[in-house]
Chain A
């Protein structure tokens, strides 16, 4: 093999290396940008929005009952995220309970309370304090709140019979009538 051949070969090898290096550099940049875009998208998205189907979840209540959202189709769901350490939650607690008592006899409206980042003793004490009777359970592993992408508590999501989100309340409800006016339109046949 002549010196020139060897040189040519070396030249070729370095070109190939260079091409690989370039490819890798672009790939790395691309992957990083994708990750950033994904994070940003998730962040910009905000909570699940009206008109979307709600994410499926399973709630194990403080009484040990297991509720699957898929099994609750055909009922209007009022999903309330709350916490015992959250002061604004206390403002709406009595109204929510009153609304539940109002709709409970109908049988086609179900209220669900989900305790976000709460400790069990404190959550139970809160339920007792406000005399709340609808099913409540902890958000195990903060999975439900992450699926709904909630920003804080309280937030309430009202879902129609088909499982489509129809109403979102960020922050506490101000009155019983406000809750009713959000639920009633979904009850018309």
Chain B
């Protein structure tokens, strides 16, 4: 959790330059020979990042359907056979398609998913910068609101109220 969120926050600085990091790196788990030694936590750690097509948008580790239960069993079995997280993920992608991953794998058309928002934001920023650059002359006095000819006691009152704010 820690390293991943550090990563997330490093993006603060180089947010749109580091698109490559979006893929998300999986860490290999230590091999455990005995299936009964695989804890629920080890299974959930992997299941957390997978999505079952039967219950869309619910991560596998909290999904309650029987299909999801079977998937978790499968993860447990594969872990017992010594598969790494990356291998298990790959297996699920082959079996059930890209939709099992939490984010679209960065290839082909999926690049659009990652490129469109930063491009749109940069475009917005560019328009904003132009708006600032666009000012060639400071506002001429004529465009500033003319001081109104108010009776002195009203002006005094206005100033008084402004001070109160």
Contact = CB atoms under 8 A, between A and B. Distances in A.
Q: Quick check: do A and B touch in the complex, using CB within 8 A?
A: yes
Interface string B68-112: 011101100100000000000000011111110000000000000
B71 A119 contact: yes
Interface of A: 83-85, 117-122, 138, 140-143, 146
Contacts of B53: 117, 142
B74 A121 contact: yes
Contacts, number: 38
Contacts of A85: 65-67, 69-70
Nearest to B134: A14
B47 interface: no
Interface in B42-60: 52-54
B149 to A, nearest CB: 34
Nearest to A143: B97
Contacts of A143: 97
Nearest to A84: B70
13 contacts: A83-B67, A85-B66, A117-B53, A117-B96, A118-B67, A119-B71, A121-B74, A140-B95, A141-B93, A141-B94, A141-B96, A142-B97, A146-B97
Contacts of A118: 67, 70
A102 B32 CA distance: 48
Contacts of A142: 53, 96-97, 99
Interface residues of B, number: 19
Nearest to B69: A85
Nearest to B130: A17
Contacts of B98: 141
Contacts of A119: 70-71, 73-74
Given A121-B74, A121-B77, A141-B94, 19 more contacts: A83-B67, A85-B66, A85-B69, A85-B70, A117-B52, A117-B53, A117-B54, A117-B67, A117-B96, A118-B67, A119-B70, A122-B73, A138-B95, A140-B94, A141-B93, A141-B98, A142-B99, A143-B97, A146-B97
Interface in B111-161: none
B83 to A, nearest CB: 14
Contacts of A141: 93-98
User: 3 closest Cβ contacts across the A-B interface?
Assistant: A141-B97, A85-B66, A119-B74
Contacts of B66: 85
Given A117-B52, A117-B54, A140-B94, A122 B70 contact: yes
Contacts of B95: 138, 140-141
Contacts of A138: 95
A64 to B, nearest CB: 15
A32 B18 CA distance: 27
